[in-house]
Amino acid sequence: MMMILCSNDAWLTKLCISMCHGQNDVKQLNARRHLKRLATDTDDLVIIDLQWCAEKELPVLKTPAVALTPTPEYRQAIRLLQRGVRGYGNRYMLRENFLQAVTAVRAGQVWLPPAIISRMITSFPKSGPAPEEDTFSEPLSKREEEVVHHVSNGLSNKEVAEKMHIAVRTVKAHLTSIFAKTGFRDRLELALKMKSRES
């Protein structure tokens, strides 16, 4: 999979090359007029530097994309999700976090800063009837149900750990098991679908 970089920033270019097999796996989009090409459905991954191009210049994307900005904002995250962006965060994030964002978006998941995910989850009301029966591969354990409840209320892993008096790594292990049993791909999908189940 090729990584298409919409930026002329040397540091970001170096970071993207270091995450790929080499420079040949990173294609730099040097002119904003080529942004329209990103509207086509490809297997490539697009990294968009919002210091290089304005949000309004972006087409509606079909290509998996991560947008980076100096200061992530909730409203901008919503607008970018509506344009097809699936990853969004601080352009100065740690390499490890950037790798998580890229990996998640390549896997078809949404990756956003925890504070934005929490605000999104809490902004959606509980609605609709509960499903008649779960179609999970296995039933959730009592502790997993408790984790789901806290995640559905917008709590971060650290906050869930504090509430349940367990380690953050234990919360992550529960979430891994929950995702495997439910088929949900990320905590946002889990929270939104499980919220209606709890109502």
Residuewise pLDDT in 10s, the chain (199 residues)? 688 888 888 888 888 888 876 667 888 877 777 777 776 667 788 999 999 988 888 888 888 899 999 999 999 999 999 888 999 999 999 888 999 899 889 888 889 998 898 888 877 766 544 444 456 778 889 999 999 989 888 888 889 999 999 999 999 999 989 988 888 888 888 887 776 665 5
94 and 164 part of one domain: no
Predicted pLDDT at 198: 55
pTM higher than 0.85, yes or no? no
25 and 102 part of one domain: yes
7 and 86 part of one domain: yes
**Which of 88, 111, 134 is at the close of a domain?**
111
SS3 content of the chain, % helix, strand, coil (to 5): 50, 10, 40
Q: Is 95 exposed, middle or buried (0-12, 13-18, 19+ CB in 10 A)?
A: exposed
116 part of a folded domain: no
Predicted pLDDT at 135: 62
Predicted pLDDT at 133: 47
Q: Which residues contact 183 (CB under 8 A, 6 or more apart)?
A: 136, 137
| Domain coverage including residue 83 | 3-111
